Structure 1
Amino acid sequence: MKPIILLTLLATPCLALDYKRDVLPIFEKKCFDCHSAGAEELKGGLRLDDEEHFFKRFAKNDVVVPGDWDASYLFVTVVIPPGEKGTMPPKNKGERLTEQEIMTVAKWIHEGAKIGREKGEKGSDEMEPSKILKFHNGQLLREGEEAPVAEAMPEWEEWTNRDGQKITAKFIKVANGKVSFELKGEKKVDYPLEQLSEESRNRILQRVEPDMTPMR
């Protein structure tokens, strides 16, 4: 590639997300059962298949606030968790938006909600959706929420009993003086804690009761 062409490509700004090109296909797939000319019952009088109509509805009830996805009723409704009041789409009315689709809607609004020839002001850099929005299992985490940390899978380890015999097993838990181990072949056994070597007992107790004095 010639340098002048490369420089031209690098200097070309990224196109802002456009309603017809980037957002409408999402709504067509997920929302048209209730919000299009073909809907059996037009919900809320809102048509998403008509750009002019949709644009005129932006200001009503803050359906879309260009530059501010967090204040846009459209965004707020598509991220309401299933089973809660107002969740979209309603039960048996289509599939929920995916993480990527939600992010596209948020970015479109953040960039000024370009629709037809109209485009509002862009939101602040601090509100860039990719910096703020976090998901877990397809649902948006609310402010202050963190995705649960996956528990580490038990590893194969070598354990020794008082007689010096060794087994390779995964430690599962200890309860009522017995240790649950998983052996090869997914077989599970309960072994008396006191029958393990001092080293093996201490290793287990450090995991389940870190403040307990090691057994001797």
Structure 2
Amino acid sequence: MIRARIFAITAAALAVGTVGLSACSPGGSNAQAPAGQAPVAQESASTGAASGLMAQSNTGQEAGSDNGLCKAGDLQLSFGRGGAAAGTAYRPLIFTNVSGQQCVIQGFPGVSYVGGEDGHQVGPAAYRNGEKGAAVTLGPGEQASAVIGFVTVENYPAEVCRPEPVKGLRIYPPQETAAMFIPFDYAENGCANEQLPGNQLTVQTIQAGRGEQ
């Protein structure tokens, strides 16, 4: 089981832990996006982290906001229990409100693989699967989740996939510009090919609860 360690980060300060993905792994696999489905905007790679291995918080980032939306500083990430089907593993990504006030979260998080010492993005960001859900109000300690699909990248020919070691996921909470990072606890590969047939990562809308199967 993945032992998630979560750190809030900015696009200018990201580092990485260890990662792993396979068809039956707890960390993931992947699924095809529906035809005509628009992708989540790609996140740019972060550079300049002091150690390249520890994610650093943005000192200017504050928990909470005037508009009541959940910010990266309000949230902690973890993985829940999931399942696998047809070469894809599914795991709920759980958002826990660790602030002392309620906040609102709605829609699709930004999700992408990261690798290297600089925390650069590996392959395209996750495709949004399905419709945007209703707003979820999280009181202190309450949770919401979004299911992530991880394709088994070994099913692609190496020349198509262009496999590259990945160390974790960069996560942007909805309507948030500060990123978070969640590592996997063992090493695996993602596909670096930006024109990969299908999608190595998909993400569903955030819903209330842990979303575990």
TM > 0.5 fold call: no
Name the TM-score class by shorter chain: under 0.3
Scaled by the length of structure 2, the TM-score of the pair is 0.21
Structure that is richer in strand per residue: 2
Scaled by the length of structure 1, the TM-score of the pair is 0.21
Structure that is richer in helix per residue: 1
Structure possessing the higher relative contact order (Cα contacts under 8 Å, 6 or more residues apart): 2
